[in-house]
């Protein structure tokens, strides 16, 4: 009985690292630097990201704080089957003229 409980407890959710890798690969296959910036929101919406145009500070992939006059900020919570946490992924898309100039990605647990 104790072994079964341990398996149940240890198997309470997907590894956040696995979800982050999966989400990053999905984003990279749907959106690339050099593609039309106008298509970025629709491409990420197909992956169930919620997007909005923002300005000011954002966290880059390397976890440094950066600034931009305008960027697309998209986020999604995944793996809601976990007991008290979900995995939040965020994609920041920076324009360069009419094209996607850079894509920043981050992911982590959001727990109650």
pLDDT tens-digit readout, 51-84: 999 999 998 989 899 999 999 999 998 765 566 7
Q: What would the mean pLDDT of 30-41 be, rounded to a whole number? A: 96
d(CA 44, CA 93): 10
Residue 51, both tokens: 């997007």
Percent of the chain beyond pLDDT 70? 79
Distances (CA, A) of 54 to 68, 70, 83, 85, 109: 9, 6, 32, 26, 23
On whether the CB atoms of residues 104 and 60 are closer than 8 A, the answer is yes
Domains in the chain: boundaries: 16-111
Residue 43 burial class via C-beta count within 10 angstroms: exposed 0-12, middle 13-18, buried 19 and up: buried
pLDDT tens-digit readout, 8-26: 334 455 566 677 788 889 9
Q: What would the mean pLDDT of 28-37 be, rounded to a whole number? A: 95
Sequence-separated (6 or more) residues with CB below 8 Å from residue 52: 72, 73, 74
d(CA 79, CA 81): 5
**Which of 44-48, 75-79, 91-95, 104-108 comes out lowest in average pLDDT?**
75-79
Confidence (pLDDT) at 3 = 35
For residue 107, give the 3-state DSSP assignment: strand
DSSP-derived letter for residue 106 is: E
Place of tokens 């959001």: 110
């Amino acid at each position: 009985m104790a072994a079964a409980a341990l398996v149940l407890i240890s198997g309470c959710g997907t590894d956040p690292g696995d979800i982050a890798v999966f989400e990053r690969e999905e984003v990279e296959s749907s959106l690339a630097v050099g593609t039309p910036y106008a298509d970025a929101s629709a491409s990420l919406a197909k992956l169930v990201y919620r997007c909005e145009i923002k300005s000011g500070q954002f966290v880059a992939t390397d976890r440094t704080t950066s600034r931009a006059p305008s960027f697309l900020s998209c986020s999604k919570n995944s793996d809601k089957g976990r007991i008290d946490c979900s995995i939040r992924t965020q994609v920041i898309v920076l324009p360069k003229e009419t094209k996607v100039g850079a894509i920043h990605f981050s992911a982590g647990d959001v727990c109650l």
